[in-house]
Chains A and B, each alone.
Chain A
């Protein structure tokens, strides 16, 4: 919609009025064709003669692989003090404020939930959902049903404040759907009440498209069962990338609440420097438990990094770096880089070392990309790398980095490289705590 100042041109006004009435008409017809679940619940269920049998308690839908819009399979009706299940085949009409059954007799069988079935009122309404398109965690204020592809289906979820107010208000307004902020059900990831699992295939794909920082935001906002459900829907690399991006307190809570094996897997797949930072936040025995469940070599490497104090070069460095011998050719180095494709954000150069591991120099990726494949890597060494000892403070590392105008710095013991520090890690380490409100942890 145009937000420019509107000139008082009569024709323009007429156009506007027409488009407005068109819009209102559309909204009205949408309103009439969709059924608000929040409005329908508690409404009478009657037989064909029009006499009331009971009240609607809940609506059952089934997740299906072939459609993004789960079909309604039945309703729960409260008859006297019992709750009975009525299959959709026996329902004549669904409308906004009543349900009419097609058979006069009601078979009062008790409801037992089958796998794949979900109760809208008990498990979806008022529960957390992930809006995959808008990348946010929301609570369903209302759930909308509509006839589509020959069946009544779950089509959308309302998350507006207005719908909440409508539900708070007098009962007779409740059944009018107020589609204010409606999300297409296909773009929503709901969670299973019991296992927390993410249910729909298409949303799985949607979740896969999210960036690690977006996933991190979602993980932070979800309750524990939902959070674990989302986590298990991700592959381990993506999960680790997302966890790296989380706020320290949230990351700490997530690792603590996860099964130790899961936590160990996540930490294993994190970049070493991020893994160390995450482990530092945990208690000593929690840390040991995770390290013990990791592969011994990786656990030892992280254990060594943990030895360094948090505010020194050793404490923030990553042990992820690429070494090459002076005689290696450019093509050999390139194929070595190829095997580290998933660390591409962490690598900005190759360190050249001699046979006993002493650092000779650094070669930038740019030079490697543009050089003749047969050339020896030692010929490409241009400037001396900036080298610090692990015990050096972060402030000094920052000074050295600023002074040299580099993107990274090499950490070495006795001239043998043990790790690297990237400029962004220094920014993270030096920037003040990013503000997230937490109940204060006073004495801890």
Chain B
């Protein structure tokens, strides 16, 4: 008569034997290889969020000041990024919770406070850099940043609050794809491949104060706390379960590698174009790196990419701060359902946009400001990383997916090295002042 829906008893979790689960985990997910290439998972997106305004400025400055020499350092940073992103994704997959929620549950309330402040300040630094990026991009089109930054801050604020942000986001994303021109520009720019290869593979360290400064900025822009929070949240949002972890790990590791290959191509392209001319002075100079591919349009291509990447992150970063704070306070619902009506989060979002835009209006060189914010990231990164490493060392959080003996050491060395370099810079700066 009618198509009746079948009713069955609700099967409880855990009824299946371990053996059948194991079998399911190994046989179930046989996906064709191209899925790994096409599926843009949270890991890929999170790691590539590093190639934003701050990233472009820092990598370009590295190439222009030190030529190909920072490439080996980037290899080390890449290892760090892979380790960290893998841990963040693993925490998300196996606990099913965001990073902020995990920190609140696993650490004392004061440490949670510390983590949230570190994340908040670091994200605010990013917002500053995104608005600086927007300002720099508009300057390339001949618009003063004192006009463009306030207007775009207002535009982004209202787009997020009054709806149509999703459409704007697509446009920004497509614009930011302009940066994929870098690998091609690097190849067409005829770099000295022999030097590129030796500088990448042969271990070396550049012992100079200015490289320590840039090194911290390179770490900060490549491994910023925002990306780890994003990687874990993205995984949780999609409901990726432990059974699917192999695929997610491929996404996290692949995403980190891909992001850093692009970063290294930015350094190569810039080094080939303007290497050895000292620290980067202006966005126009950075755009020269794209000349082999875009010719006279290099500046425009660069400006479009910079604008897209900056505007994209200028909205997402403050939102992610609000989201993490809500998670730590245990009031997810106020962000998830009525962001517009939740005074605390609306306030937090607005303050970040306002402060970010205001700081980026300070009349200093925008490139200097951009690199400075990445140094700030570099200082705060070790704090969040320590939380991540401690969490993923805990069997009570991850069960059998806990860090192994070797991985523990690698993770610890990564954090200590990053913290060490930051402290070195801090000491240098203090000595410089005295």
Q: Do A and B bind each other?
A: yes
Interfacial residues, chain A to chain B (CB-CB below 8 A): 38, 126-128, 136-141, 159, 161, 164, 167-168, 195, 217, 220-221, 223-225, 227-228, 232, 234-237, 239, 249, 252-257, 259-262, 265, 268-272, 285, 289, 294-295, 297-298, 301, 319-323, 336, 340, 432-433, 435-444
B330 within 8 A of A: yes
> Is B110 within 8 A of A236, CB to CB?
no
> Is B97 within 8 A of A268, CB to CB?
no
> Is B2 within 8 A of A321, CB to CB?
yes
Contact of A289 among B12, B28, B44 (CB under 8 A): B28
Listed stretches B64-72, B77-85, B335-343, B419-427; interface member: B335-343
Provided the pairs A223-B95, A336-B1, A436-B337 are in contact, do residues A443 and B40 lie with their beta carbons within 8 angstroms? Answer: yes
Provided the pairs A261-B11, A285-B29, A320-B3 are in contact, do residues A223 and B96 lie with their beta carbons within 8 angstroms? Answer: yes
> Is A221 within 8 A of B332, CB to CB?
yes
> Is B101 within 8 A of A223, CB to CB?
yes
B154 within 8 A of A: no
> Is B10 within 8 A of A239, CB to CB?
yes
> Is A236 within 8 A of B10, CB to CB?
yes
24 residue pairs A–B, Cβ–Cβ below 8 Å:
A38-B109, A126-B112, A139-B104, A223-B98, A224-B97, A232-B10, A232-B12, A234-B10, A235-B10, A252-B238, A252-B239, A253-B237, A253-B239, A261-B15, A268-B5, A268-B6, A285-B31, A323-B1, A323-B2, A432-B163, A437-B336, A439-B233, A439-B316, A442-B40
B277 within 8 A of A: no
> Is B7 within 8 A of A268, CB to CB?
yes
Provided the pairs A136-B333, A236-B10 are in contact, do residues A322 and B1 lie with their beta carbons within 8 angstroms? Answer: yes
> Is B13 within 8 A of A228, CB to CB?
yes
**Chain A: CB-nearest residue to B98:** A223
Contacts of A223 in B (CB 8 A): 95-98, 101, 236
CA separation between A265 and B337, bound complex, in Å? 28
> Is A301 within 8 A of B336, CB to CB?
no
> Is B237 within 8 A of A438, CB to CB?
yes
Provided the pairs A262-B11, A435-B340, A437-B339 are in contact, do residues A256 and B5 lie with their beta carbons within 8 angstroms? Answer: no
> Is B333 within 8 A of A217, CB to CB?
yes
Contacts of B97 in A (CB 8 A): 223-224
> Is B237 within 8 A of A439, CB to CB?
yes
> Is A256 within 8 A of B240, CB to CB?
yes
Q: Which of B10, B24, B322, B340 counts the most A-chain CB atoms under 10 A from its CB?
A: B10
CA separation between A285 and B163, bound complex, in Å? 33
Beyond A285-B29, A320-B5, A444-B40, 13 additional contacts (C-beta under 8 Å) are A137-B330, A138-B331, A167-B110, A168-B110, A257-B239, A259-B13, A261-B15, A265-B8, A268-B6, A269-B8, A301-B3, A433-B166, A436-B337
Cβ distance A235 to chain B, nearest Cβ, rounded Å: 6
CA separation between A127 and B9, bound complex, in Å? 30
Contacts of A221 in B (CB 8 A): 332-333, 336
> Is B336 within 8 A of A298, CB to CB?
no
B213 within 8 A of A: no
Contacts of A433 in B (CB 8 A): 166
> Is A236 within 8 A of B3, CB to CB?
no
Provided the pairs A237-B7, A295-B6 are in contact, do residues A217 and B45 lie with their beta carbons within 8 angstroms? Answer: no
**Chain A: CB-nearest residue to B176:** A442
Contacts of A237 in B (CB 8 A): 7
Contacts of A436 in B (CB 8 A): 336-337
Contacts of A260 in B (CB 8 A): 24
> Is A256 within 8 A of B329, CB to CB?
no
B269 within 8 A of A: no
Cβ distance A195 to chain B, nearest Cβ, rounded Å: 8
Contact of A126 among B109, B322, B337 (CB under 8 A): B109
Cβ distance B243 to chain A, nearest Cβ, rounded Å: 9
Contact of B236 among A224, A228, A236 (CB under 8 A): A224
> Is A294 within 8 A of B6, CB to CB?
yes
> Is B2 within 8 A of A340, CB to CB?
yes
CA separation between A113 and B166, bound complex, in Å? 49
Contacts of A320 in B (CB 8 A): 2-3, 5
Contacts of A301 in B (CB 8 A): 3
CA separation between A252 and B241, bound complex, in Å? 12
Contacts of A298 in B (CB 8 A): 5-6
Interfacial residues, chain B to chain A (CB-CB below 8 A): 1-16, 24, 28-29, 31, 39-40, 42, 44-45, 95-98, 101, 104-105, 109-110, 112-113, 163, 166, 169, 173, 230, 233-234, 236-241, 316, 319-320, 322-323, 329-333, 335-337, 339-340
CA separation between A336 and B2, bound complex, in Å? 10
Provided the pairs A236-B9, A285-B31 are in contact, do residues A439 and B330 lie with their beta carbons within 8 angstroms? Answer: no
> Is A439 within 8 A of B101, CB to CB?
no
Cβ distance A440 to chain B, nearest Cβ, rounded Å: 6
> Is B333 within 8 A of A137, CB to CB?
yes
CA separation between A292 and B95, bound complex, in Å? 28
> Is B333 within 8 A of A256, CB to CB?
no
Contacts of B9 in A (CB 8 A): 236, 265
**Chain B: CB-nearest residue to A140:** B330
Cβ distance A43 to chain B, nearest Cβ, rounded Å: 15
CA separation between A321 and B1, bound complex, in Å? 9
Contact of A259 among B16, B230, B329 (CB under 8 A): B16
**Chain B: CB-nearest residue to A266:** B10
Cβ distance A319 to chain B, nearest Cβ, rounded Å: 5
**Chain A: CB-nearest residue to B48:** A442
CA separation between A345 and B9, bound complex, in Å? 22
Contacts of A126 in B (CB 8 A): 104-105, 109, 112, 330
Contacts of B163 in A (CB 8 A): 432, 435
Cβ distance B373 to chain A, nearest Cβ, rounded Å: 22
Q: Which of A38, A270, A295, A437 counts the most B-chain CB atoms under 10 A from its CB?
A: A437
> Is B2 within 8 A of A225, CB to CB?
no
Provided the pairs A236-B10, A433-B166 are in contact, do residues A442 and B319 lie with their beta carbons within 8 angstroms? Answer: no
CA separation between A256 and B237, bound complex, in Å? 10
Contacts of A225 in B (CB 8 A): 95-96
CA separation between A325 and B91, bound complex, in Å? 59
> Is A439 within 8 A of B3, CB to CB?
no
> Is B16 within 8 A of A261, CB to CB?
yes
Contacts of A294 in B (CB 8 A): 6
Cβ distance B44 to chain A, nearest Cβ, rounded Å: 8
Contact of B105 among A127, A254, A321 (CB under 8 A): A127
Contacts of B39 in A (CB 8 A): 444
Cβ distance B7 to chain A, nearest Cβ, rounded Å: 6
**Chain B: CB-nearest residue to A38:** B109
CA separation between A297 and B4, bound complex, in Å? 10
Contacts of A228 in B (CB 8 A): 13
**Chain A: CB-nearest residue to B232:** A439
> Is B233 within 8 A of A262, CB to CB?
no
Provided the pairs A217-B337, A235-B10, A256-B241 are in contact, do residues A442 and B45 lie with their beta carbons within 8 angstroms? Answer: yes
> Is A168 within 8 A of B339, CB to CB?
no
Contact of B95 among A167, A224, A270 (CB under 8 A): A224
> Is B10 within 8 A of A439, CB to CB?
no
Cβ distance B308 to chain A, nearest Cβ, rounded Å: 11
CA separation between A271 and B39, bound complex, in Å? 30
**Chain A: CB-nearest residue to B335:** A437
Contacts of A227 in B (CB 8 A): 96
> Is B316 within 8 A of A232, CB to CB?
no
Contacts of A159 in B (CB 8 A): 330
Contact of B96 among A224, A336, A439, A444 (CB under 8 A): A224
Cβ distance B378 to chain A, nearest Cβ, rounded Å: 24
CA separation between A164 and B116, bound complex, in Å? 14
Contacts of A319 in B (CB 8 A): 3
**Chain B: CB-nearest residue to A256:** B239
> Is B2 within 8 A of A442, CB to CB?
no
CA separation between A440 and B330, bound complex, in Å? 22
CA separation between A164 and B109, bound complex, in Å? 8
Contacts of A321 in B (CB 8 A): 2
